[in-house]
């Protein structure tokens, strides 16, 4: 088990390093340098020089990358050129909101998607199955920001049953909860569809296996068969995919935060993009990428561990 984990971890670190390098060197593919870009077209040469020195751009490129790499490992993502605050601090302030949104979104996906898939498999080829099949495909196809916009339109602007803006009062859990409902639903809907289809396919495959026939021959109740025997196995491929789900949902979270004017990484990055504030953008992208890779890694390891056959061979 440990060898497997270490290998995967090592691979993940390599990939993240390459990604970091790409983010870093992208700056040099662009005409001009980050200082000029940040300051805009009205900058004077003196301002540019000062900013360049501040950003460490006067040093040779490989040294810059090396410094950058070392800094990142120590948790230092640079400094925001405008506010002079540490990028790490800025990003970490916004991250919890986004994580919360993503997790609740994933929660929706699991709570709705898994039972839907399970039920579709049990009631195969009935109207229920066919309708839920169409709904699943549709949920996957429709972009999450459209769902967000329409939820906003219908539930917040017209029906006025749910709040439209922000994350709610600090400390007031119910308020925060109601503010979470629409945006998390918007980003989770796509994965409801995806999980429903995956669980259905998995369950159908498992239900056709011989050990299910054996369980029936022993008179085990249908309930036991579905939950203990079938679902337990059918769930395994789903767990591995949840890691990818987080990455997917993070992208959706960016839009949801902007549409619902919630604080979070999405809003942070959007504002930074508008002001060409690359250090903040790079810091946020790096953090979300690392999160994505980490989640995928954890999900893979969890999936491997849950299956005793794989667990033994590791």
Partner 1 sequence: MSAQLSDALLSATDIRRREGFLGQVRRFRRDPLGVLGLALVTVIVLAAVFADVISPYAPAAIDVKIRLAAPSLDHLLGTDQLGRDVFTRVLYGGRIALEVASLCISVSLGIGLALGMLAGYGPRWLDNGVILVCDAVRSFPTIMFALAVVTLVGPSLETIELIIIIATIPGYARIVRTQTLSLKTNEFILAERARGAGGIPVLAIHVMPKVIGPLLILGSMDVPVVVTIEAGLSFLGLGVRPPTPSWGSILNDGYAFIRNTPWLVIAGGVPLILTTLGFTFLGEALRDIIDPKLRKV
Partner 2 sequence: MDVVLSIRDLTVDFATPRGMVHALREVSLDVPRNKIVGIVGESGCGKSTLIGAAMGLLANNAVVRGGRALFEDRDVLTMSDSELRAIRGQRISMVFQDPMTSLNPVLSIAQLMTDIQYRDRASSPARKLARAVDMLRQVGIPDPEQRIDHYPFQFSGGMRQRIAIAMALLMNPSLLIADEPTTALDVTLEAQIIHLLRELHGKLQTTVLFVSHNLGLIAELCDEVVVMYAGEVVEHGPVRALFHDARHPYTRALLECDPARIAKSNRELPTIPGEVPNLIQLPAGCVFHPRCSRAFEPCPVRPPQPVAVGAGHAARCYLLSHD
Restricted to residues 161-200, the positions that interact with partner 2 (CB under 8 A) are none
128 lies in the site for partner 2, by CB under 8 A: no
- Sign of CA pseudo-dihedral 205, 208, 213, 216: positive
Burial of 169 (0-12, 13-18, 19+ CB in 10 A): exposed
What is the three-class DSSP state of 58? coil
Cβ-proximal residues to 114 (8 Å cutoff; 6+ apart), any chain: 195, 196, 199, 235, 238
Distances, alpha carbon 192 to alpha carbons 45, 96, 108, 136, 297, in Å: 53, 23, 7, 7, 22
Site residues (CB under 8 A) for partner 2, limited to 194-213? 209-211, 213
Is position 85 an interface residue for partner 2 (rule: CB under 8 A)? Answer: no
126 binds partner 2 (CB under 8 A): no
Among the listed residues 7, 85, 130, 232, the single contact to partner 2 using CB under 8 A: 232
SS3 82: coil
Which of partner 1, partner 2, none interacts with 23 (beta carbon under 5 to 8 A by kind)? partner 1
Span 36-65, contacts to partner 1 by CB under 8 A? 37
| Axis-axis angle for helices 87-122, 173-207 (nearest 10) | 40
Q: Out of partner 2, partner 1, none, which partner does residue 288 contact, by CB within 5 to 8 A per kind?
A: partner 1
Q: Residue 220: name its binding partner from partner 1, partner 2, none (Cβ under 5 to 8 Å by kind).
A: partner 2
Q: Does the footprint of partner 2 cover residue 54 (CB under 8 A)? A: no
Q: How far is the CB of 114 from partner 2 (least distance, A)?
A: 17
Residues that bind partner 2 (CB under 8 A): 209-211, 213-221, 224, 228-229, 232-233, 307-309, 312
């Amino acid at each position: 088990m440990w060898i497997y984990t270490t290998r995967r971890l090592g691979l993940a670190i390599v990939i993240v390093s390459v990604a970091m390098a790409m983010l870093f060197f992208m700056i040099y593919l662009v005409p001009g340098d980050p200082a000029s870009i940040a300051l805009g077209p009205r900058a004077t040469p003196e301002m540019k020089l000062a900013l360049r020195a501040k950003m460490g751009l006067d040093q040779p490129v490989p040294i810059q990358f090396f410094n950058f790499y070392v800094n990142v490992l120590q948790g230092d993502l640079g400094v925001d050129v405008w506010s002079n605050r540490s990028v790490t601090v800025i990003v970490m302030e916004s991250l919890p909101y986004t994580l919360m949104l993503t997790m609740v979104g994933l929660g929706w996906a699991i709570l709705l998607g898994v039972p839907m898939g399970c039920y579709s498999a049990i009631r195969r080829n009935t109207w229920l199955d066919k309708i839920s099949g169409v709904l699943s495909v549709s949920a996957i196809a429709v972009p999450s920001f459209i769902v967000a916009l329409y939820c906003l339109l219908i539930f917040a602007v017209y029906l006025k049953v749910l709040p439209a803006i922000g994350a709610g009062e600090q400390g007031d859990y119910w308020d925060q909860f109601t503010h979470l409902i629409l945006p998390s639903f918007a980003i989770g809907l796509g994965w409801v569809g995806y999980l429903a289809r995956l669980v259905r396919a998995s369950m159908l495959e498992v239900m056709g296996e011989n050990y299910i026939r054996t369980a029936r021959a022993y008179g085990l109740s249908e309930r036991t068969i579905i939950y203990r025997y079938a679902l337990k196995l059918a769930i395994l491929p789903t767990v591995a995919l949840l890691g990818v789900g987080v990455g997917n949902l993070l992208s959706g979270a960016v839009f949801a935060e902007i549409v619902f004017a919630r604080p979070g990484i999405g809003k942070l990055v959007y504002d930074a993009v508008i002001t060409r504030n690359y250090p903040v953008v790079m810091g946020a992208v790096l953090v979300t990428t690392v999160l994505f890779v980490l989640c995928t890694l954890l999900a893979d390891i969890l999936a491997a561990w849950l299956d005793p056959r794989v667990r033994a061979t590791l």
